[in-house]
Amino acid sequence: MAAREAGDWLHAPLSVYEVHLGSWRRRADGGFLGYREIAAELVPYVAELGFTHVEFLPVTEHPLDESWGYQPSGYFAPTRRFGDPDDFRFLVDQLHQAGIGVILDVVMNHTAEGGTDGPVLNYKGLAPEFFYHRDGANYRDYTGCGNTLNMRHPRVLQLIMDSLRYWVTEMHVDGFRFDLAATLAREEHAPDRMSSFFDIIHQDPVLSQVKLIAEPWDVGADG
């Protein structure tokens, strides 16, 4: 963590280069470069452009390549399509050594399991009645993706907070951009700026110290 703590980017004004790792580079044979190979090309390129940060589009595991990562199936590991967690950490640390901070675009508002007719991958099979906003057996859809994670439930909130802390303390990232952040603030129905999620993230000793960016809308009423 020494390189990260010494970086000037932690308190610098943001100039952000958005990166989708899956489309950054392809080999001639059509295969993807790995995290370490991407680092060799991406780091000098962003440094030359003069950006203070990169923002990675979603990197957590997801079942659909065409979703660009916006259909998450897990929250605690970078996708293995490009390497293992140590390889991802290497990419982050190489950016830090170049004085470039790392922000993750995180999708904490829904999962890849869709609505009532969607696939059962994990959370829907475990306990859909508390993982998701629901009306009986029907899933409330404030995200346009068939379901909405229920941040009002303490176990769901714990899952997301533990995930965010993991990315900071273990993967060394410097902040987050929350996809459809209004969804995270929904209580029974409408968003509330005093919601449980916003309140607890403000008080967290780790997460309150990193850069936090909110996409300030969703597709539900009052979103």
Catalytic (active site) residue 66: no
pLDDT tens digits, 144-179: 999 999 988 999 999 999 999 999 999 999 999 999
pLDDT tens digits, 90-141: 999 999 999 999 999 999 999 999 999 999 998 999 999 999 999 999 999 9
Checking 154-159 for CB contacts under 8 A at 24+ apart, the result is: 155/130, 156/130, 156/131, 157/196, 157/197, 157/200, 159/75
- pTM of the full structure: 0.89
Residue 90 has what pLDDT? Answer: 97
Determine how many CB atoms are found less than 10 A away from the CB of residue 212. 17
Determine how many CB atoms are found less than 10 A away from the CB of residue 132. 23
Catalytic (active site) residue 179: yes
DSSP 3-state of 153: coil
Q: Which of 113, 179, 204, 218 is catalytic?
A: 179
